[in-house]
Amino acid sequence: MKTRADALQLLKQYTKSESLLRHAYAVEAACRAYAEKFGEDVEKWGIAGLLHDFDYEMYPSKEEHTIVGSRILAEQGYPEDVIYAIRAHADYNHLQRDTPLSKVVFACDEISGFVMAVAMVRPTKNLAEVEVRSVKKKLKDKAFARGVNRDDVYLGAEELGVSLDDHIATVIGALAAIAPELGLDGASA
């Protein structure tokens, strides 16, 4: 099995954007939290979250994103279930999310970015101060974080079989635990 250090090296080889790197760290943290919650392999699930968009900066089109990346991951010996989960997080690949890992990567992708956006507009820029009700209120505001697919946020929680409140709380907790790495610990406000 590849290690987080291997995955991080690969991520940084293909991703230079600081915001995309922070997004990868956030999705990794959320996937790790769900692995713990479900009694799964925390390292493996974290790696899937960390690498879910590693090819996006270089291969952003629907024809290439996750397709090119999955070939790279296969060549480097990443497990098939990790590769499948990464491919399945992109709806346009039309893959069924039929494993817990594929459901978690999909469910954590959009909501992680959204929770970070909610923290960024707070005066303190502190994830520890973000509340579930604040996130839900912002989800209703279509002008806020327009790039986040709200349908995917709701579908992700549904596919996991958890309430939206529990899903948001899990993600907030996971992201708050790595807030300094995300620049959302209030230190730079």
Are 89 and 101 in contact by the 8 Å Cβ rule? The answer is no
- The number of distinct structural domains making up the chain is 1
Q: What is the pLDDT of residue 188?
A: 60
Sign of CA dihedral 29, 64, 16, 9: positive
In this prediction, the residues of the chain whose per-residue pLDDT falls under 50 are none
Q: What is the pLDDT of residue 1?
A: 73
Could you list the residue range(s) of the whole structural domain that residue 36 is in?
Answer: 4-182
Average pLDDT in the chain? 96
Rg, Å, the chain Cα set: 15
The answer to whether position 187 is within a domain reads: no
The answer to whether position 188 is within a domain reads: no
The answer to whether position 142 is within a domain reads: yes
Q: What is the pLDDT of residue 174?
A: 98
Classified as helix, coil or strand, 38 is helix
Give the predicted TM-score (pTM) of the model. Answer: 0.96
**Cβ count within 10 A of residue 122:** 15
CATH number for position 29: 1.10.3210
Q: What is the pLDDT of residue 126?
A: 94
Q: What is the pLDDT of residue 34?
A: 98
Q: How many helices (H) and strands (E) in the chain?
A: 10, 0
Q: What is the pLDDT of residues 135-162, one digit of tens each?
A: 999 999 999 999 999 999 999 999 999 9
**Cβ count within 10 A of residue 91:** 14
Q: What is the pLDDT of residue 186?
A: 86
Helices 80-88/42-51 angle, 10° precision: 40
The answer to whether position 189 is within a domain reads: no
